[in-house]
């Protein structure tokens, strides 16, 4: 069934709200609230009506109900003052007053899914079987589906399809065949008093191999906040795990049958394997761009590779790489749509190449608004905050990235955290973080530079010179210009320490 009003279509079968053909992201309770208002548009519905229909009569705080109503208004382009579609009847309730046409939903074609990663989130098992707890398990799954849907390169099966398996013993391989997905996420919810434990596992459907598993504990003091937090955490951890799985899958294909997407994934894997492979990663990305000049993710990562060649001291022509990197970044933004990965990587590259850093931080904030569980986005935000002279915020955002992606690497967070402590003058706290950063990738120069300068300011010159010797073994560039560091005092602190560590030779 579909309800149409203005340029909106409310599709009950797909559980989607579309505006001018584009899907509007809604939390499950917000969607249900809108459906109830539209279905009961012939009358004023009271607060008790809403609690009974949407929350099953459970006690919900006034602020929670108000926030969900505000979310419904925002979703349909209305607000509490205009009340063009949702009108408040003082002390009585709400009524949907927009003109609505009702029609059966068109049949969905059963065409094959596009050649991109796809996942189904199955209903989580309610351990203990208490039917009063069923709503919580279902709510968790709906929030996870919504969060995963923000990952633009991932195809997520809609709730109405995955929930056909509710209450059934399932064979994951069969689910993969039925829904034509590569990956399946399944899990369970166990409640005890006011505590809850959610267990989840990611499975490759074709092989049945377990790719990731974890558990999350929380308190039911605020059910909705807990559901949101778990969904964001799960989505943030799954994204890099899927990247790793997809890269391994592509690596098994014959090298003479690579698409632009395959080239992109191979380059992505190289980028985080070793800094020495950045030139090779860039060549693969350039091949992908040649095949598809409008391939936004490949363009954005090519820009980051150009940044790294300049930063690491592996560029054969710095001016050309700076020029090409900025051009790749700008081209990626022209085709970005609402891809948070493109926004974040383009912002990182353009900030390094001299664009206004405030504007670039705004661009990353936009990426995180699209996908709050985007671990790479939080890492890029940390980089920009560090360069902009906001070390404490940089630490906070780098730690958020690590929390969302504790296993798969999405950046070099220990370098950012160590650099932030360094700029704050906390040299003793910076040293262990920078030593960890060097272990992340021994061929990545930035942590060596921070660490050498740090030791110099601690007057540990023997250790500082030893780090410089190790740095020279991986790059001839000991002392870059550091134009990306906008705070003059921070820049001078780093450069002066490096000069002391390297002596006249630098």
Same domain membership, residue 503 and residue 403: yes
| Local structure of residue 389 (DSSP, 8 states) | T
Same domain membership, residue 229 and residue 140: yes
Closest-CA residue to 330 (of 303, 305, 311): 303
Same domain membership, residue 257 and residue 238: no
Tell whether the model's pLDDT for residue 49 goes beyond 80. Answer: yes
Give the count of domains, the chain.
4
Same domain membership, residue 168 and residue 201: yes
pLDDT (0 to 100) of residue 255:
36
pLDDT (0 to 100) of residue 223:
64
Token pair of 245 as six digits: 């799985």
Same domain membership, residue 307 and residue 213: no
Which residue range is the domain that position 500 belongs to? Answer: 379-506
Closest-CA residue to 149 (of 180, 173, 177, 185): 185
Give the global pTM.
0.62
pLDDT (0 to 100) of residue 359:
93
- The gap between the terminal CA atoms of the chain, to the nearest Å, is 71
State the CATH number of the domain containing residue 224: 3.40.50.10610
Which H or E element spans position 17?
A: strand 16-19
In a domain, 74, yes or no: yes
In a domain, 108, yes or no: no
What is the rounded average pLDDT of the residues 329-354?
Answer: 93
Same domain membership, residue 260 and residue 333: yes
pLDDT (0 to 100) of residue 207:
83
Pairing of strands 118-121, 155-156: parallel
pLDDT (0 to 100) of residue 256:
37
Which is more confidently placed, 227 or 429? 429
pLDDT > 70 in the chain, percent: 91
In a domain, 13, yes or no: yes
Closest-CA residue to 380 (of 405, 321, 28): 405
Of 304, 338, 372, which one is at a domain's C-terminal end?
A: 372
Crossing angle, helix 488-502 and helix 461-472, to 10 degrees?
90
Same domain membership, residue 262 and residue 240: no
pLDDT (0 to 100) of residue 63:
80
Same domain membership, residue 136 and residue 42: no
Find out whether 342 and 332 touch, Cβ atoms under 8 Å: yes
Same domain membership, residue 223 and residue 161: yes
Distance CA 416, CA 411 (A): 9
pLDDT (0 to 100) of residue 181:
86
If phi over 0 gives left and psi between -120 and 50 gives alpha, with beta otherwise, what is residue 479? beta
Same domain membership, residue 54 and residue 20: yes
Closest-CA residue to 117 (of 199, 162, 176, 164): 176
Tell whether the model's pLDDT for residue 132 goes beyond 70. Answer: no
Tell whether the model's pLDDT for residue 129 goes beyond 70. Answer: no
pLDDT (0 to 100) of residue 114:
44
In a domain, 424, yes or no: yes
DSSP 228-243: HHHHHHHHHHHHHHHH
| Local structure of residue 452 (DSSP, 8 states) | H
Token pair of 154 as six digits: 């991932």
Which long-range contacts (C-beta less than 8 Å, at least 24 apart) are formed by 87-95? 89/44, 92/44, 92/46, 93/44, 93/45, 93/46, 93/47, 93/49, 93/50, 94/37, 94/44, 94/45, 94/50, 94/69, 95/37, 95/41, 95/43, 95/44, 95/45
In a domain, 148, yes or no: yes
In a domain, 162, yes or no: yes
Which is more confidently placed, 197 or 428? 428
State the CATH number of the domain containing residue 64: 1.10.10.10
Three-state secondary structure call for residue 156: strand
Question: Is residue 240 very low, low, confident or very high in pLDDT (cuts 50, 70, 90)?
Answer: confident
Tell whether the model's pLDDT for residue 85 goes beyond 50. Answer: yes
Of 196, 231, 251, which one is at a domain's C-terminal end?
A: 251
In a domain, 436, yes or no: yes
Same domain membership, residue 11 and residue 123: no
Same domain membership, residue 129 and residue 152: yes
Of 207, 230, 251, which one is at a domain's C-terminal end?
A: 251
State the CATH number of the domain containing residue 447: 1.25.40.10
What is the rounded average pLDDT of the residues 353-360?
Answer: 94
């Amino acid at each position: 069934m579909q309800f149409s009003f203005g340029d909106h279509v409310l599709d009950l079968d797909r559980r989607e709200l579309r505006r001018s053909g584009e899907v509007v992201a809604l939390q499950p309770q917000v969607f249900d609230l809108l459906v109830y208002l539209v279905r009961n548009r012939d009358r004023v519905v009271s607060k008790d009506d809403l609690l009974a229909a949407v929350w099953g009569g459970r006690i919900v705080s006034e602020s929670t109900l108000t926030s969900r109503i505000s979310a419904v208004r925002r979703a349909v382009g209305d607000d509490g003052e205009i009340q063009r579609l949702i009108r408040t009847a003082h002390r009585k309730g709400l009524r949907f007053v927009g003109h609505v046409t009702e029609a059966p939903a068109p049949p969905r074609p059963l065409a094959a899914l596009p050649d991109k990663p796809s996942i189904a989130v199955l209903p989580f098992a309610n351990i203990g079987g208490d039917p009063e707890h069923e709503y919580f398990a279902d709510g968790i799954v709906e929030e996870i589906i919504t969060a995963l849907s923000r990952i633009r390169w991932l195809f997520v099966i809609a709730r109405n399809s995955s929930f056909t398996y509710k209450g059934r013993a399932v064979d994951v391989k069969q689910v993969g065949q039925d829904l034509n997905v590569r990956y399946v996420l399944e899990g369970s919810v166990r409640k005890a008093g006011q505590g809850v434990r959610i267990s989840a596992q990611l499975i490759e459907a074709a092989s049945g191999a377990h790719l990731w598993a974890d558990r999350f504990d929380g308190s039911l003091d605020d059910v909705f906040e807990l559901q949101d937090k778990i969904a964001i955490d799960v989505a943030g951890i799954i994204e890099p795990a899927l990247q790793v799985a997809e890269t391994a899958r592509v690596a098994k294909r014959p090298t003479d049958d690579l698409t632009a997407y395959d080239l992109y994934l191979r380059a992505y894997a190289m980028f985080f394997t070793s800094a020495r492979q950045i030139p090779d990663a860039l060549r693969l990305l350039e091949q992908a761009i040649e095949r598809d000049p409008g391939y936004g993710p490949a363009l954005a990562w090519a820009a980051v590779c150009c940044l790294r060649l300049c930063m690491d001291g592996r560029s054969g022509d710095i001016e050309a790489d700076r020029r090409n990197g900025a051009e790749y970044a700008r081209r990626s933004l022209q085709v970005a749509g609402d891809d948070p990965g493109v926004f974040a990587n383009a912002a990182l590259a353009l900030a390094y190449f001299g664009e206004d850093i405030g504007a670039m931080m705004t661009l990353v904030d936009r990426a995180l608004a699209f996908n709050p569980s985007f671990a790479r986005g939080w890492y890029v935000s940390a980089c920009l905050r560090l360069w902009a002279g906001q070390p404490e915020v940089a630490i906070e955002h780098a730690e958020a990235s690590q929390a969302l992606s504790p296993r798969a690497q999405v950046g070099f967070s220990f370098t950012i955290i160590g650099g932030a402590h360094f700029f704050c003058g906390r040299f003793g706290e910076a040293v262990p973080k920078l030593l960890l950063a060097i272990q992340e990738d021994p061929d990545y120069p930035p942590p060596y530079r921070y660490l050498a300068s740090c030791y110099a300011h601690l007057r540990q010159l023997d250790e500082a010179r030893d780090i410089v010797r190790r740095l020279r073994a991986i790059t001839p560039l000991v002392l870059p210009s550091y134009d990306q560091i906008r705070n003059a005092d921070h820049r001078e602190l780093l450069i002066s320490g490096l000069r002391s560590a390297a002596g006249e030779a630098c």
